[in-house]
Amino acid sequence: MNLTARRWTTTAVAGLLGADGLVHLYWATGATWPAPDERALSLAVLGLETSFGPPVVLPLAALTLTAGAAVLAHGHGRGGRLTRAATGAVAAGLAIRGLAGLGWAAGLLDSPPDSPFRALNLTVYTPLCLGFAWAAARLARER
């Protein structure tokens, strides 16, 4: 991968993880944007009812922000094997989520038919996860 592509890929993957982490921090405050309440948020994001309270979303925020920092470090040639492995783990995690999204889209995994999750999964979550998994995998192969 040439230097320009590496920089764009690094910025895109780390930016996605950073944005995801910041949204989780926002939800930890009790805010539910873009949904009107926690139930609607849960159904839209996960397709099931679950808590979006701080004990749930703060660890996810920490994980995605740390992963984003590792990808950023690896993309800039820092951190050696550790940040390369973390970037590979990001690629694997996104690929697993993307494949699960295909399972949901095919009806192999259950989701409430009345929730917005089905459409969001098909049009937003799964394509983003699969595309960014590919980008992170390309970046992880770089030394």
| pLDDT per residue as tens digits for the range 92-115 | 999 999 999 999 888 888 777 777
50, 38 contact by CB (below 8 A):
no
Cα(first)–Cα(last) distance of the chain, in Å? 10
Is cis: bond before 34, omega within 30 of 0? Answer: yes
- Quote the pLDDT of residue 143: 85
Q: What would the pLDDT profile of 28-83 be if each residue is shown by its tens digit? A: 999 999 999 999 999 999 998 999 999 999 999 999 999 999 999 999 999 999 99
Cβ-contact 17, 9 below 8 angstroms: no
- pTM, rounded to two decimals: 0.94
Where do we find the tokens 């996960």?
Answer: 46
Structural contact between residues 134 and 9, judged by C-beta atoms closer than 8 angstroms: no
What is the rounded distance in angstroms from the CA atom of residue 93 to the CA atom of residue 72?
Answer: 17
28-43: per-residue pLDDT in tens?
999 999 999 999 999 9
Asked whether 105 and 126 are in contact (CB, 8 A), the reply is yes
Q: What sign results for the dihedral spanned by CA atoms 56, 61, 67, 70?
A: negative
